[in-house]
Amino acid sequence: MKHDTILICDDDQFVLKMLCFFLEAEGLIVETAMSTDEIYRKIESNKPSLIFLDLNIPEDGGESVVQNLRSRNETKNIPIILFSGKENLPEITAKLKVDGFLRKPFENETLIAIVNKFIYHSI
């Protein structure tokens, strides 16, 4: 059986803990990163099946991470969901050509719908 990993990238420890608790309770494997350097290290050691990326991730920022991942053959097809409270999140999502967005604060049902869409894992 394939074990899909979700990488959650946010600089807010509370958000990371909450998402980990919720998704792990649903049987998913979750990795977290709090900076762009940590994102690249985690992807190098265990390529995720889905990435939730906060636009305001420290160091290079979310837009730079998207551009970097999309430019590399080994990561260009990993689905990326932008994760932010910004009002213009749909426009940013379209501009960066990522796979979707999750606006903070979010409903658990919305999170699960996104996970199901990209992981094909029935929760």
Single pTM value for the model? 0.92
Helix (H) or strand (E) holding 119: helix 108-119
Q: What is the pLDDT of residues 3-49, one digit of tens each?
A: 689 999 999 999 999 999 999 998 899 999 999 999 999 999 999 99
Q: Tally the domains of the chain.
A: 1
* Dist CA 77 CA 85 (whole Å): 25
**Distance set, CA 6 to CA 38, 77, 93 (Å):** 14, 14, 19
In sequence order, what are the beta bridge partners of 30?
Answer: 6
- CATH classification of the domain holding 12: 3.40.50.2300
User: Which domain does 28 fall in, by range?
Assistant: 5-119
Q: What is the pLDDT of residues 56-76, one digit of tens each?
A: 998 999 999 999 999 999 999
On the question of pLDDT at 94 being above 60, the answer is yes
Token pair of 15 as six digits: 């958000």
